[in-house]
Amino acid sequence: MSTTSRLLPRPIDILLVDDDPADVLLTKKALDDGKVYNTLNVVKDGVKAMSFLRREGEYADVPRPDLILLDLNMPCKDGRETLSEIKADEQLKSIPVVVLTTSDNDDDVAKSYDLQASCYITKPVDFAQFTRVVQSIRDFWLCVVKYPH
């Protein structure tokens, strides 16, 4: 093993759960622009998220994410149900979940925190603001927070 490869941190594995292709693209771009060493996996709904997290079927060989970015309003199984299921699972409950959604409804905020979301962020409509929000998530969760090896 070379000295360089020993010094590089392992990538932070992120699971993005969002059914909006535009928001997925914006999130990818904001993370890429930050040049933070990460791996981003994307699923479009809560059913696929739980299969991914439990490493079922097509997701049998995926890494367990260090961070989950979760939209609330999705088909099949919404973010509230997904968050509840994640936090009820002994194997998954320690994974930080950042709710990243268009809803600024106070009930959604309160319910997300009741379900043990790590934080709740409303997606801005403006592209530049959205990029800044994702970069602030990146800066905190990928640069400040320490994860176990």
The pLDDT profile of the chain, 149 residues, written as one tens digit per residue, is 444 444 445 678 899 999 999 889 988 887 777 666 678 999 999 999 999 999 999 999 999 999 999 999 998 899 999 999 999 999 999 999 999 988 889 999 999 999 999 999 888 777 778 777 877 877 787 677 766 65
**pLDDT confidence of residue 8:** 45
Residue 134 pLDDT: 78
Q: Note whether residue 142 is domain-resident.
A: no
Q: What is the pLDDT of residue 89?
A: 96
CATH number at residue 41: 3.40.50.2300
pLDDT at residue 147 in the model: 61
Tokens of 89: 């699972």
- CA distances to 6, 35, 69, 92 from 95, in Å: 25, 23, 11, 6
Residue 37: the pLDDT is 67
DSSP one-letter code for 58: G
Considering the domain boundaries, does residue 44 fall inside one?
Answer: yes
The pLDDT value recorded for residue 20 is 92
Overall domain count for the chain: 1
- What is the domain range of residue 60? 3-137
Q: Does residue 144 lie within any of the structural domains?
A: no
Q: What is the dihedral of CA 107, 105, 96, 91, to 10 degrees?
A: 50
| Residue 70 within any structural domain of the chain | yes
pLDDT of residue 6: 44
| 115 is a domain residue | yes
